[in-house]
Structure formats: C-alpha cells, structure tokens
Amino acid sequence: MSFNIGEFISSIFDLTAGDYLASVWGTEPWVSVVLDILGILIVATIPLLSVFFVGLIERKVLARMQDRIGPNRVGGKYGLLQMFADVVKMLTKELLVPAGADKVAYFLAPVLSLATSALLFAVVPFAPGVIGTNLGVGVFYVLSISSVSVVALLLAGWGSNNKYALLGAFRAVAQLVSYEVPMILSLLVPIILASSMSTMDMVEAQAIPFVIFAPISALIFFVSSLAETGRSPFDLLEAESEIVAGFHTEYSGMVFGLFMAAEYMGIMFMCFLFSTAYLGGYRFFGLEEIVLGNGFQLGRLLGLFITIFKGALVFFVFMWLRATLPRLRIDQLLNFNWKFMVPLMLMILLTVALLDRLILDYIPQVGEAGRAGIHFVSNIIIGFAGLEVLRRSARRQRLRHNTTSPVLAVAENEGAPIYVATEVEPAHDHHGHDHHGHDAHAPVPAH
C-alpha cells in the first residue's frame, strides 16, 4: 500500500490515522516506536493545551454562578485569550527559589505532578479504538500513577521550607491517602461487572451504563474523585483562608503554572474516568458504531464528541459544587471517609460480588436489564441503610453533647424542629459605661 495524501487527511478526520499509517509503513519495529511517539505527543499535548480552555470555562462558569461576568477583556468579548495571557505572564516572571529550600525537591515536585497527570491520559478511551494504549491492567495503572502525585505534593511542601506549605502537604497526604481507599473500592465494582481491568473492555461491557447498576457506588466514586483532585468542598490542601495556598505557597511563575495545569489535567482525567467507569464512556445508543458508505468512520468521531460531552457534564457538576459548598474541617473530612464511605463501600462491594455471581449462575434468563435492576435495588437499599445508620449515630452524638447546640437538642427532644429565638442580653459593663460604641465582647480598658 502506498501513501495517499487524500486518504491520510480523511483518516485524520475519522480518527483512524494511526491504523492508516501502520498499514502504509508496514510492520518493522521502528514503525511501532514512531507511531507510539506520535500517539504520546497527541495524548499528552491535547490535554495540556485544553487546560487553557478548561481553565477559562471554569472561571466563566464560576463567575456566572457568583453573579459576576468573569474574564471579558483579553481576546474579544468572552475573554477567550485570558489563559494565554496568563501563561505569557507566568513565563516572563522570575524563577524564585525561597531561601533554605531544598532545590531538588522544589523543582522535582511540579515536574512530577504534571508528568503523572499527563501519564494518566494514556488509558482514557476517547472513541472506539482510539486510546493511548489499551492496557490489560488499565484501572490498576491509573491508581498506581495517581498515587505518585501524592509524593509530588509532599515534595513540594517539604522542599519549600515554609510552614504553610508543609501544613498543606501534610493535609494533602492525609486526605489523598484516605480518599484513595473508597476510590479503589468503588472502581472495583465496574471491574467486577465488566470482568476486566482494561478501560476499553469496561466501556464495551456497558450496554447499560454502570451508574444504573450501582448508583451509590458511582456517587462514592464521584465524591472521592472530588477529594482526590483537591476540589471544593475538599480543598483543604490549598485552603487559602487558613494556610495561604497550601503546598504551593512558595511557587510562582511557570512553576506554579505547572501545578495549576496538573490540577486541571487531573480534574479532566477524573471526569473522563467517571464517564468511562460509570457513564458508558463513548457509547450512546449505538451512535458510536456508524460507518458511512465510503468507509468514513463517523462513529469514531461521534464517539469522541460523546466522550467529551459526558466529561464536560461531570466537570460542570465539579464547578457547581465548588460554587455552592463551603469547606469541610479536616476531622470531619477524615471521619466521613473512614467511618462512612469506606464501610458503606465495603458493603456494596460484597453485595455486588455475591449477587452478580448468583444472578449469572442461577437466573441468567433475566438478561442484562434484569441484572441491572437487581443490582440497582440492592444498591439503593444499602445506601439508605447506610444513611439511616449515619443519621442515628449523629443523633446520639448530638444528644450526648447537647450543651453545644441547644436549638438542635430541643428539636430532637420535641420531635419537631423549633425555632428558638435567643435573647441577646445587653452587654454588661462593670463600670456602667454601656454606650461607648465598641463591640460588647471587646476587652474593657482598665480605669
């Protein structure tokens, strides 16, 4: 087969360029290396460049949710070039290294952070047959790579020689390490249902999206992916009102930009992973299998758009939550994880594992829809049972410490919420100088 420029361009448009080049170039060893390098450049640089748009979209959407306009000056009406302007600014800033910093750790951290975020995209199935590499252990690869980013954060905090950075890094490690557990467990559910660790097989197995099989598990995965990417309400690691900027307090210029890019790439990846594992990835009612008469793989192109659409949908919820929820406290955060999400997820995992085997062995005639229905019902039951246990223990706890919140305690005892208007007593001053105009709780100067 000889190279034909027309066919090559057409193959780019229906995302089969890799197959086309492989068929033209033959099967020599160097061909696979060149194709892999081309694939890597595409897989790594497109997410990196789309950070410009994702960042802008987030700023615009957040602004609208907070009744602002957001970036609207640079690059026309919608501030389209705002992020490019930001990057140019970052690139021309001085590369500052704080005094006493550990230089190796200080510069290794952002590099490691971005590299791991980029590496994650190797196993995202974008469209049928369009994937960096279809690893047999895809999900396992994702988990092992994403746990390296914890090391990057710890290096950043430790290397900066700054107390805020170090506090942020400690929090980051505690949070990321804790929330990795429910994330691992909730990824095991789609693996069991698809009976494969490969992300591609997982999508192929979802004639019915797994979110219908296991909605509670999907929810737990979503919450832990919020925590893993350090998004609000889990943004303790860079809580700006408490510890300045957390682990990247001392970073400026492009070195900070790399952390930001890594964060956005991590978020994009988590959105894609959620849509791959639970929302059916590129599948949408057989739309991804369309092939036009002249061999043009329209389905692949549509599959790409479906993937991006589903990812964008999840990302919108990420932004929505950021605009809505306040930040958690670290003890609440860790308690919620270890005492609620992990036990609940273990229960769900056990039920799914047992139930699926029983269905497949004894009642295979219910078919895919029946299987989905049974799993759905069992999942919802476990979810509500978990919430009920949580509610009761919370009530017990409130009754035990009812001194701290009289309003809630009264409501619990009477069985109905009652609004208790607390009378504010006038500030009492020892010397009778009541109307000095200061705050009632301010210390009174000695006379």
Determine if 81 is a binding residue for another protein (CB under 8 A): no
Determine if 9 is a binding residue for another protein (CB under 8 A): no
Pair 62, 54: CB distance under 8 Å: no
Joined together, the tokens standing for residue 433 give 């100088």
Is 288 or 356 the residue whose CB approaches another protein more closely? Answer: 356
Joined together, the tokens standing for residue 385 give 């049972």
Q: Which residue shows structure tokens 């092939």? A: 291
Cis peptide before 182, with omega less than 30 degrees from 0?
Answer: no
**Main-chain dihedrals φ then ψ at residue 420, nearest 5 degrees:** -100, 110
Is 310 or 371 the residue whose CB approaches another protein more closely? Answer: 371
- Selected binder of another protein within 8, 136, 368, 399 (CB under 8 A): 136
Binding mask 356-375 for another protein (x = CB under 8 A): xxx--x--------------
Give least dist CB 339 to another protein, A: 6
- Stretch near another protein under the rule CB under 8 A, chosen from 11-19, 190-198, 268-276, 421-429: 190-198
Determine if 143 is a binding residue for another protein (CB under 8 A): yes
Determine if 83 is a binding residue for another protein (CB under 8 A): no
Binding residues among 22-51 for another protein as defined by CB under 8 A: 32-33, 36-37, 39-41, 43-45, 48
List CB contacts of 411: < 8 A, sequence separation 6 or more: 417, 418
- Selected binder of another protein within 51, 56, 165, 277 (CB under 8 A): 165
Determine if 295 is a binding residue for another protein (CB under 8 A): no
**76/56 Cα distance (integer angstroms):** 13
Determine if 128 is a binding residue for another protein (CB under 8 A): no
- Which residue in 149, 121, 114, 109 sits closest to 47, CA to CA? 121
DSSP string, 280-294: -TT-STTGGG---TT
- Which residue in 133, 122, 148, 112 sits closest to 44, CA to CA? 122
Binding residues among 167-186 for another protein as defined by CB under 8 A: 170, 173-174, 177-178, 180-181, 184-185
Binding residues among 389-418 for another protein as defined by CB under 8 A: none
Amino acid residing at 352 = V
Could you give the angle at which helices 138-146 and 148-159 cross, rounded to 10 degrees? 10
- Which residue in 98, 66, 47 sits closest to 319, CA to CA? 66
Binding residues among 254-283 for another protein as defined by CB under 8 A: 254-255, 257-258
Determine if 100 is a binding residue for another protein (CB under 8 A): yes
> Total binding residues for another protein by CB under 8 A?
91
Give least dist CB 78 to another protein, A: 25
Give least dist CB 368 to another protein, A: 15
- Selected binder of another protein within 107, 213, 272, 318 (CB under 8 A): 107
Is 287 or 330 the residue whose CB approaches another protein more closely? Answer: 330
Give least dist CB 145 to another protein, A: 9
- Beta-bridge partner residues of 426: none
Binding residues among 324-353 for another protein as defined by CB under 8 A: 330-331, 334-335, 338-339, 342-343, 346, 349-350, 353
- Classify 423 as helix, strand or coil: coil
**194/206 Cα distance (integer angstroms):** 8
Quote helix, strand, coil % in the chain, to nearest 5.
70, 0, 30
Joined together, the tokens standing for residue 31 give 């061909």
Give least dist CB 254 to another protein, A: 4
